[in-house]
Amino acid sequence: MSANIRKVWVEVVCVLLCSSLSGVCSAPLCMNGQNGCHILSLSDLFDRVIQHSARMHGISNDLHSEFEQYFLPSKNQIGRVSRNCHTSTILTPNGKENAQRMARQELTEVILKLLLAWRDPLWHFHQSMAHHPDFNKFSSNKALEMSDMAHELRKGVEKVAEKMQMLGIISNSVSSLASPEAPLPANGHKWRLMKDYDLLYCFRRDSNKVQNYLKILKCRIVPEHGC
């Protein structure tokens, strides 16, 4: 009887250990290049996310051109200039010098903020496009792809940030922002008031910002190739 209880205890302990270790299991399987595992360098990671962001921006550009064909919003509208993207509260550098002056960590945070801010709006944009009678399925698929890519890009940038943290390039404060439990910005629900076209216009710009910031980061941190 005591032997059985012992066995049960051992099993319980093992289960507990395994469960506690499950949190750590999300860590990469490959540690420090052991067992012939190919570790992606930071440069490779950056190249991947930059390509990803370029593709995302390309899709948003195409959708925007389609919107302009269908809607052709008048350029003479007075209220057009007062368009206000919901991400305008996020402080983003508007010039090269400003971007270069910004610290890597800040820049990484800006990127992550932007990508996070667009997670929900893009999903709803896709939903509205799918139900819109004017758009064909091709456009709604693009919207869905765009939404997925934004999500993937965010994940990728988080990985890059992790890598940089590991390398000691940036501090650890970025990781807190990446968690899904992070609180949304103050005007996070402002986007619901925006029309689809304005959403697209804003996202097109923001995706360009993300791409550009990533490039700047890359050329500042790992300037070997293509800089």
- Minimum CB distance to other proteins smaller for 57 or for 126: 57
Closest CB to other proteins among 99 and 153?
A: 99
Contact pattern for other proteins over residues 57 through 76, marking x by CB under 8 A: x---x-------------xx
Interface residue with other proteins, options 40, 42, 54, 177 (CB under 8 A): 54
Per-residue DSSP letters for 145-209?
HHHHHHHHHHHHHHHHHHHHHHHTSS-THHHHHHSTTSPPPTTTTGGGGS-HHHHHHHHHHHHHH
One character per residue 77-116, x = contact with other proteins (rule: CB under 8 A): ---xxxxx---x---x-xxxx-xx----------------
Phi first, then psi, for residue 72 (nearest 5°) are 45, 65
CA 176/CA 47 separation, integer angstroms: 24
As a whole number of angstroms, the distance between CA 109 and CA 180 comes to 14
Based on CB atoms, which residue is closest to other proteins, 100 or 136? 100
Q: Which is nearer to other proteins, 26 or 76 (CB)?
A: 76
Dig out the tokens for 78 from the structure. 């007075």
Residue 218 makes contact with other proteins by CB under 8 A: yes
Find where tokens 């250990």 sit: 17
Question: What is the identity of the amino acid at 51?
Answer: Q
Cα–Cα distance, 215 to 112 (Å, whole number): 14
Write the CA distances from 178 to 17, 40, 117, 156, 174, integer angstroms.
Answer: 27, 21, 12, 11, 7
Minimal distance, residue 16 CB to other proteins, in Å: 49
Shortest Cβ 86–other proteins spacing (Å)? 13
Answer for the pair 49, 157: CB distance below 8 angstroms, yes or no.
Answer: yes
CB 226 to other proteins: min, Å: 6
Q: Between residues 104 and 124, which has the closer beta carbon with respect to other proteins?
A: 104
Q: Which stretch binds other proteins (CB under 8 A): 24-32, 54-62, 117-125, 138-146?
A: 54-62
Query: To the nearest whole angstrom, how small is the minimum distance from the Cβ of residue 194 to other proteins?
Result: 14
- Applying CB under 8 A, the residues found at the interface with other proteins are 54, 57, 61, 75-76, 80-84, 88, 92, 94-97, 99-100, 205, 208-209, 212, 215-220, 223, 226-227
